[in-house]
Structure 1
Amino acid sequence: MKKFAIEIKWGIRYTFCYLAWAIFEKVLGIFGENMSYYMLSSVLFYLFASIIYTVALKEKKTNYFQNNMDWKQGTATGLYMTIVIAVLMPLTQACLHQVIAPEFFENMIAVSKDKVTAENYFNLKSYIMQTVFFTLSVGMVISAIVSYFIQTKKQK
Protein backbone atom coordinates (compact mmCIF):
# COMPACT_ATOMS: atom_id res chain seq x y z
CA MET A 1 0.00 0.00 0.00
CA LYS A 2 2.91 2.33 0.76
CA LYS A 3 3.95 1.96 -2.88
CA PHE A 4 0.73 3.75 -3.93
CA ALA A 5 0.47 6.25 -1.07
CA ILE A 6 1.26 9.26 -3.27
CA GLU A 7 -1.31 8.24 -5.90
CA ILE A 8 -3.99 7.71 -3.24
CA LYS A 9 -3.17 11.02 -1.53
CA TRP A 10 -3.34 12.99 -4.78
CA GLY A 11 -6.43 11.12 -5.98
CA ILE A 12 -8.22 12.21 -2.81
CA ARG A 13 -6.90 15.77 -3.18
CA TYR A 14 -8.10 15.84 -6.78
CA THR A 15 -11.56 14.77 -5.62
CA PHE A 16 -11.73 17.57 -3.06
CA CYS A 17 -10.54 20.07 -5.69
CA TYR A 18 -13.28 18.79 -8.00
CA LEU A 19 -15.90 19.42 -5.31
CA ALA A 20 -14.41 22.85 -4.52
CA TRP A 21 -14.62 23.69 -8.23
CA ALA A 22 -18.27 22.61 -8.23
CA ILE A 23 -18.97 24.94 -5.31
CA PHE A 24 -17.19 27.71 -7.23
CA GLU A 25 -19.40 26.97 -10.27
CA LYS A 26 -22.48 27.05 -8.04
CA VAL A 27 -21.49 30.47 -6.64
CA LEU A 28 -20.96 31.79 -10.18
CA GLY A 29 -24.42 30.57 -11.18
CA ILE A 30 -23.11 28.07 -13.73
CA PHE A 31 -25.65 25.48 -12.61
CA GLY A 32 -28.45 28.01 -13.00
CA GLU A 33 -28.70 31.28 -14.88
CA ASN A 34 -25.20 30.96 -16.39
CA MET A 35 -25.63 27.38 -17.61
CA SER A 36 -24.31 28.40 -21.03
CA TYR A 37 -20.82 28.66 -19.47
CA TYR A 38 -20.85 25.09 -18.13
CA MET A 39 -18.71 23.63 -20.93
CA LEU A 40 -16.15 26.42 -20.64
CA SER A 41 -15.99 25.90 -16.89
CA SER A 42 -15.46 22.15 -17.39
CA VAL A 43 -12.58 22.75 -19.79
CA LEU A 44 -10.99 25.20 -17.35
CA PHE A 45 -11.20 22.60 -14.60
CA TYR A 46 -9.29 20.09 -16.72
CA LEU A 47 -6.52 22.64 -17.19
CA PHE A 48 -6.44 22.88 -13.39
CA ALA A 49 -6.51 19.07 -13.21
CA SER A 50 -3.38 18.98 -15.36
CA ILE A 51 -1.62 21.08 -12.72
CA ILE A 52 -2.73 18.63 -10.02
CA TYR A 53 -1.35 15.71 -12.06
CA THR A 54 1.92 17.60 -12.63
CA VAL A 55 2.44 18.25 -8.93
CA ALA A 56 1.53 14.65 -8.05
CA LEU A 57 3.89 13.16 -10.63
CA LYS A 58 6.70 15.49 -9.59
CA GLU A 59 6.23 14.38 -5.99
CA LYS A 60 6.37 10.74 -7.05
CA LYS A 61 9.48 11.43 -9.11
CA THR A 62 11.22 13.18 -6.21
CA ASN A 63 10.12 11.09 -3.23
CA TYR A 64 9.76 7.63 -4.72
CA PHE A 65 11.95 7.43 -7.81
CA GLN A 66 14.78 9.61 -6.40
CA ASN A 67 14.53 12.07 -9.33
CA ASN A 68 14.98 9.32 -11.91
CA MET A 69 11.57 8.61 -13.43
CA ASP A 70 11.04 7.56 -17.02
CA TRP A 71 7.93 8.15 -19.11
CA LYS A 72 6.53 4.68 -18.46
CA GLN A 73 6.86 5.04 -14.66
CA GLY A 74 5.24 8.49 -14.76
CA THR A 75 2.39 7.31 -16.93
CA ALA A 76 1.80 4.30 -14.65
CA THR A 77 1.78 6.61 -11.63
CA GLY A 78 -0.78 8.86 -13.32
CA LEU A 79 -2.88 5.84 -14.27
CA TYR A 80 -2.95 4.60 -10.67
CA MET A 81 -3.98 8.07 -9.53
CA THR A 82 -6.66 8.11 -12.22
CA ILE A 83 -8.03 4.79 -10.95
CA VAL A 84 -8.28 6.23 -7.43
CA ILE A 85 -10.14 9.24 -8.81
CA ALA A 86 -12.47 7.06 -10.91
CA VAL A 87 -13.31 4.92 -7.86
CA LEU A 88 -14.18 8.08 -5.90
CA MET A 89 -16.23 9.66 -8.70
CA PRO A 90 -19.59 7.96 -7.96
CA LEU A 91 -19.54 9.34 -4.41
CA THR A 92 -18.30 12.69 -5.68
CA GLN A 93 -21.06 12.93 -8.29
CA ALA A 94 -23.70 11.95 -5.75
CA CYS A 95 -22.44 14.70 -3.43
CA LEU A 96 -22.33 17.22 -6.27
CA HIS A 97 -25.80 16.50 -7.64
CA GLN A 98 -27.64 15.86 -4.38
CA VAL A 99 -26.00 18.39 -2.06
CA ILE A 100 -24.15 21.12 -3.97
CA ALA A 101 -26.28 21.48 -7.11
CA PRO A 102 -29.50 19.44 -6.99
CA GLU A 103 -30.91 21.73 -9.70
CA PHE A 104 -28.22 20.76 -12.24
CA PHE A 105 -30.08 18.00 -14.10
CA GLU A 106 -33.37 19.89 -14.18
CA ASN A 107 -31.66 22.98 -15.61
CA MET A 108 -29.66 21.01 -18.17
CA ILE A 109 -32.82 19.29 -19.39
CA ALA A 110 -34.64 22.63 -19.52
CA VAL A 111 -32.07 24.20 -21.87
CA SER A 112 -31.81 21.11 -24.11
CA LYS A 113 -33.54 21.01 -27.48
CA ASP A 114 -34.37 17.28 -27.32
CA LYS A 115 -35.99 16.74 -23.91
CA VAL A 116 -36.29 12.94 -24.21
CA THR A 117 -32.61 12.47 -25.03
CA ALA A 118 -31.66 15.00 -22.36
CA GLU A 119 -33.66 13.12 -19.71
CA ASN A 120 -31.78 9.92 -20.57
CA TYR A 121 -28.43 11.71 -20.53
CA PHE A 122 -28.85 14.06 -17.56
CA ASN A 123 -29.63 11.85 -14.59
CA LEU A 124 -27.46 10.69 -11.70
CA LYS A 125 -26.95 7.09 -12.84
CA SER A 126 -25.99 8.12 -16.37
CA TYR A 127 -23.76 10.96 -15.18
CA ILE A 128 -21.90 8.69 -12.75
CA MET A 129 -21.12 6.25 -15.58
CA GLN A 130 -20.12 9.05 -17.94
CA THR A 131 -17.87 10.63 -15.34
CA VAL A 132 -16.11 7.38 -14.45
CA PHE A 133 -15.30 6.60 -18.08
CA PHE A 134 -14.42 10.20 -18.90
CA THR A 135 -12.14 10.34 -15.86
CA LEU A 136 -10.36 7.17 -16.95
CA SER A 137 -9.83 8.36 -20.52
CA VAL A 138 -8.84 11.97 -19.74
CA GLY A 139 -6.69 10.86 -16.81
CA MET A 140 -4.73 8.50 -19.04
CA VAL A 141 -4.13 11.23 -21.62
CA ILE A 142 -3.11 13.82 -19.01
CA SER A 143 -0.81 11.27 -17.35
CA ALA A 144 0.94 10.45 -20.61
CA ILE A 145 1.42 14.11 -21.55
CA VAL A 146 2.60 15.25 -18.11
CA SER A 147 4.94 12.23 -17.85
CA TYR A 148 6.56 13.17 -21.12
CA PHE A 149 7.48 16.60 -19.79
CA ILE A 150 8.66 15.59 -16.32
CA GLN A 151 10.50 12.39 -17.16
CA THR A 152 14.20 12.28 -16.41
CA LYS A 153 16.07 13.16 -19.58
CA LYS A 154 18.81 10.76 -20.67
CA GLN A 155 22.34 12.15 -20.41
CA LYS A 156 24.28 12.13 -23.69
Structure 2
Amino acid sequence: MKNWNLEIRWGVIFTLVALLWMVMEKALGWHDEHLDKHMWLTNLFAIPAILVFVLAMKEKRIKVYNGSINFIQAFLTAVKISVVVAILSPLSQYITSVYITPNYFKNVIPLSVEMGYYNTIEEAEAFFNLESYMFQSVIGALIMGVVTGAIIATIQHFKFTIRRKQEEGVSNG
Protein backbone atom coordinates (compact mmCIF):
# COMPACT_ATOMS: atom_id res chain seq x y z
CA MET A 1 0.00 0.00 0.00
CA LYS A 2 3.02 2.30 0.24
CA ASN A 3 2.70 2.93 -3.49
CA TRP A 4 -0.89 4.04 -2.89
CA ASN A 5 -0.21 6.77 -0.28
CA LEU A 6 -0.69 9.66 -2.68
CA GLU A 7 -3.75 8.09 -4.29
CA ILE A 8 -5.36 7.34 -0.92
CA ARG A 9 -4.80 10.93 0.21
CA TRP A 10 -6.25 12.34 -3.03
CA GLY A 11 -9.17 9.89 -2.89
CA VAL A 12 -9.97 11.20 0.60
CA ILE A 13 -9.58 14.79 -0.63
CA PHE A 14 -11.93 14.05 -3.54
CA THR A 15 -14.49 12.56 -1.13
CA LEU A 16 -14.28 15.59 1.16
CA VAL A 17 -14.68 17.93 -1.82
CA ALA A 18 -17.75 15.92 -2.89
CA LEU A 19 -19.24 16.19 0.60
CA LEU A 20 -18.61 19.95 0.64
CA TRP A 21 -20.28 20.14 -2.76
CA MET A 22 -23.34 18.39 -1.32
CA VAL A 23 -23.44 20.92 1.54
CA MET A 24 -23.31 23.70 -1.06
CA GLU A 25 -26.05 22.09 -3.17
CA LYS A 26 -28.25 21.80 -0.09
CA ALA A 27 -27.52 25.38 0.99
CA LEU A 28 -28.38 26.69 -2.50
CA GLY A 29 -31.71 24.85 -2.43
CA TRP A 30 -30.84 22.37 -5.16
CA HIS A 31 -32.31 19.57 -3.01
CA ASP A 32 -35.62 21.25 -2.27
CA GLU A 33 -36.74 24.69 -3.63
CA HIS A 34 -34.72 24.36 -6.84
CA LEU A 35 -34.82 20.59 -7.10
CA ASP A 36 -36.22 20.82 -10.62
CA LYS A 37 -32.88 22.34 -11.70
CA HIS A 38 -30.73 19.89 -9.72
CA MET A 39 -30.34 17.40 -12.55
CA TRP A 40 -28.29 19.81 -14.66
CA LEU A 41 -26.79 22.01 -11.91
CA THR A 42 -25.19 19.04 -10.19
CA ASN A 43 -23.11 18.46 -13.33
CA LEU A 44 -21.10 21.54 -12.37
CA PHE A 45 -19.37 19.25 -9.87
CA ALA A 46 -17.24 18.15 -12.84
CA ILE A 47 -15.19 21.34 -12.39
CA PRO A 48 -13.88 20.61 -8.87
CA ALA A 49 -13.71 16.88 -9.65
CA ILE A 50 -11.42 17.45 -12.64
CA LEU A 51 -9.37 19.95 -10.65
CA VAL A 52 -8.75 17.37 -7.91
CA PHE A 53 -7.56 14.81 -10.48
CA VAL A 54 -5.32 17.36 -12.21
CA LEU A 55 -3.73 18.40 -8.91
CA ALA A 56 -3.24 14.77 -7.89
CA MET A 57 -1.53 13.90 -11.16
CA LYS A 58 0.60 17.03 -10.96
CA GLU A 59 1.76 16.05 -7.48
CA LYS A 60 2.47 12.50 -8.65
CA ARG A 61 4.44 13.82 -11.63
CA ILE A 62 6.53 16.14 -9.46
CA LYS A 63 7.05 14.04 -6.32
CA VAL A 64 7.22 10.53 -7.73
CA TYR A 65 8.28 10.82 -11.36
CA ASN A 66 10.71 13.76 -11.12
CA GLY A 67 8.68 16.11 -13.29
CA SER A 68 7.84 13.77 -16.17
CA ILE A 69 4.87 11.40 -16.24
CA ASN A 70 3.78 9.22 -19.12
CA PHE A 71 0.25 8.29 -20.10
CA ILE A 72 0.24 4.91 -18.31
CA GLN A 73 1.62 6.37 -15.08
CA ALA A 74 -0.95 9.18 -15.08
CA PHE A 75 -3.80 6.86 -16.03
CA LEU A 76 -2.91 4.33 -13.31
CA THR A 77 -2.79 7.15 -10.78
CA ALA A 78 -6.33 8.13 -11.78
CA VAL A 79 -7.53 4.53 -11.62
CA LYS A 80 -6.11 4.13 -8.11
CA ILE A 81 -7.74 7.38 -6.96
CA SER A 82 -11.02 6.17 -8.50
CA VAL A 83 -10.80 2.91 -6.57
CA VAL A 84 -10.27 4.81 -3.31
CA VAL A 85 -13.20 7.12 -4.09
CA ALA A 86 -15.37 4.11 -4.98
CA ILE A 87 -14.50 2.43 -1.66
CA LEU A 88 -15.35 5.61 0.25
CA SER A 89 -18.46 6.46 -1.77
CA PRO A 90 -21.02 4.39 0.18
CA LEU A 91 -19.95 6.14 3.39
CA SER A 92 -20.02 9.49 1.62
CA GLN A 93 -23.47 8.74 0.24
CA TYR A 94 -24.68 7.70 3.70
CA ILE A 95 -23.39 10.97 5.21
CA THR A 96 -25.01 12.94 2.41
CA SER A 97 -28.37 11.17 2.61
CA VAL A 98 -28.67 10.94 6.40
CA TYR A 99 -26.97 14.11 7.64
CA ILE A 100 -26.54 16.68 4.87
CA THR A 101 -29.81 16.33 2.99
CA PRO A 102 -32.11 13.85 4.75
CA ASN A 103 -35.21 14.95 2.81
CA TYR A 104 -33.72 14.62 -0.66
CA PHE A 105 -35.36 11.28 -1.51
CA LYS A 106 -38.68 12.44 -0.04
CA ASN A 107 -38.48 15.54 -2.27
CA VAL A 108 -37.17 13.98 -5.49
CA ILE A 109 -39.51 10.97 -5.66
CA PRO A 110 -42.77 12.88 -6.28
CA LEU A 111 -41.01 15.44 -8.50
CA SER A 112 -39.53 12.71 -10.72
CA VAL A 113 -43.03 11.25 -11.23
CA GLU A 114 -44.53 14.70 -11.81
CA MET A 115 -41.86 15.48 -14.42
CA GLY A 116 -42.52 12.15 -16.17
CA TYR A 117 -39.23 10.41 -15.45
CA TYR A 118 -41.13 7.60 -13.71
CA ASN A 119 -44.72 6.45 -14.12
CA THR A 120 -45.38 5.64 -10.47
CA ILE A 121 -44.14 6.57 -7.02
CA GLU A 122 -43.06 2.94 -6.57
CA GLU A 123 -40.81 3.09 -9.64
CA ALA A 124 -39.25 6.31 -8.38
CA GLU A 125 -38.79 4.85 -4.88
CA ALA A 126 -36.95 1.87 -6.38
CA PHE A 127 -34.40 4.28 -7.87
CA PHE A 128 -34.28 7.07 -5.29
CA ASN A 129 -33.22 5.35 -2.08
CA LEU A 130 -30.05 5.06 -0.04
CA GLU A 131 -29.16 1.52 -1.13
CA SER A 132 -29.58 2.36 -4.81
CA TYR A 133 -27.57 5.57 -4.46
CA MET A 134 -24.79 3.77 -2.60
CA PHE A 135 -24.52 1.26 -5.43
CA GLN A 136 -24.70 3.99 -8.09
CA SER A 137 -22.01 5.99 -6.31
CA VAL A 138 -19.55 3.06 -6.42
CA ILE A 139 -20.16 2.40 -10.12
CA GLY A 140 -20.19 6.11 -10.95
CA ALA A 141 -16.92 6.73 -9.10
CA LEU A 142 -15.19 3.97 -11.03
CA ILE A 143 -16.55 4.89 -14.45
CA MET A 144 -16.22 8.67 -14.17
CA GLY A 145 -12.83 8.43 -12.45
CA VAL A 146 -11.38 6.19 -15.15
CA VAL A 147 -12.82 8.30 -17.99
CA THR A 148 -11.65 11.55 -16.37
CA GLY A 149 -8.26 10.01 -15.69
CA ALA A 150 -7.88 8.85 -19.28
CA ILE A 151 -8.70 12.32 -20.60
CA ILE A 152 -6.35 14.10 -18.19
CA ALA A 153 -3.58 11.55 -18.78
CA THR A 154 -3.93 12.04 -22.53
CA ILE A 155 -3.77 15.82 -22.20
CA GLN A 156 -0.75 15.61 -19.90
CA HIS A 157 0.97 13.17 -22.24
CA PHE A 158 0.56 15.47 -25.24
CA LYS A 159 1.45 18.56 -23.24
CA PHE A 160 4.74 17.08 -22.06
CA THR A 161 5.51 15.51 -25.45
CA ILE A 162 5.14 18.93 -27.08
CA ARG A 163 7.22 20.59 -24.34
CA ARG A 164 9.94 17.94 -24.65
CA LYS A 165 10.10 18.36 -28.45
CA GLN A 166 10.31 22.14 -28.06
CA GLU A 167 13.14 21.76 -25.53
CA GLU A 168 14.97 19.32 -27.85
CA GLY A 169 14.55 21.78 -30.72
CA VAL A 170 16.08 24.57 -28.61
CA SER A 171 19.02 22.43 -27.44
CA ASN A 172 19.70 21.10 -30.97
CA GLY A 173 19.38 24.54 -32.59
Q: Normalising by the residue count of structure 1, what TM-score does the alignment of the two structures yield?
A: 0.95
- Counterpart CA distance in 1 for 2:123 and 2:81 is 33
TM-superposition CA deviations, 1:43-95 (whole Å, max 9, x none): 10022201110010111011101112111110000000000000000000000
SS in 2 for 1:66: coil
User: C-alpha root-mean-square deviation of aligned residues, in Å?
Assistant: 1.2
| Preserved CA contact (<8 Å) 1:15 1:89 | yes
| Preserved CA contact (<8 Å) 2:30 2:37 | yes
Larger RCO (CA within 8 A; separation ≥ 6) = 1
Q: How does 1:85-96 map to 2 (within 5 A)?
A: 85-96=85-96
Match for residue 123 of structure 1 among 120, 129, 133:
129
Q: Structure 1 stretches (4+) deviating beyond 2 angstroms?
A: none
Quick check: 1:53 aligned with 2:53? yes
Amino acid at match of 1:56: A
- Counterpart CA distance in 1 for 2:97 and 2:152 is 30
Higher Cα radius of gyration: 2
| Preserved CA contact (<8 Å) 2:17 2:48 | no
| Deviation (angstroms), 1:136 | 0.5
Per the alignment, residue 78 of structure 1 pairs with: 78
| Preserved CA contact (<8 Å) 1:78 1:140 | yes
Match for residue 148 of structure 1 among 142, 154, 167:
154
| Deviation (angstroms), 1:135 | 1.0
Per the alignment, residue 62 of structure 1 pairs with: 62
| Preserved CA contact (<8 Å) 1:94 1:124 | yes
Across the two proteins, how many residue pairs are aligned to each other? 156
Per the alignment, residue 29 of structure 1 pairs with: 29
- Counterpart CA distance in 1 for 2:41 and 2:85 is 19
Per the alignment, residue 16 of structure 1 pairs with: 16
* Segment drifting more, 106-115 vs 76-85: 106-115
- Counterpart CA distance in 2 for 1:120 and 1:20 is 27
| Deviation (angstroms), 1:9 | 0.7
SS in 2 for 1:98: helix
Match for residue 134 of structure 1 among 122, 136, 140:
140
| Deviation (angstroms), 1:124 | 0.3
| Preserved CA contact (<8 Å) 1:58 1:150 | no
Per the alignment, residue 171 of structure 2 pairs with: none
TM-superposition CA deviations, 1:106-150 (whole Å, max 9, x none): 111020223221100000001100111011101000000011112
Where in structure 1 are there 5+ consecutive unaligned residues?
none
SS in 1 for 2:65: coil
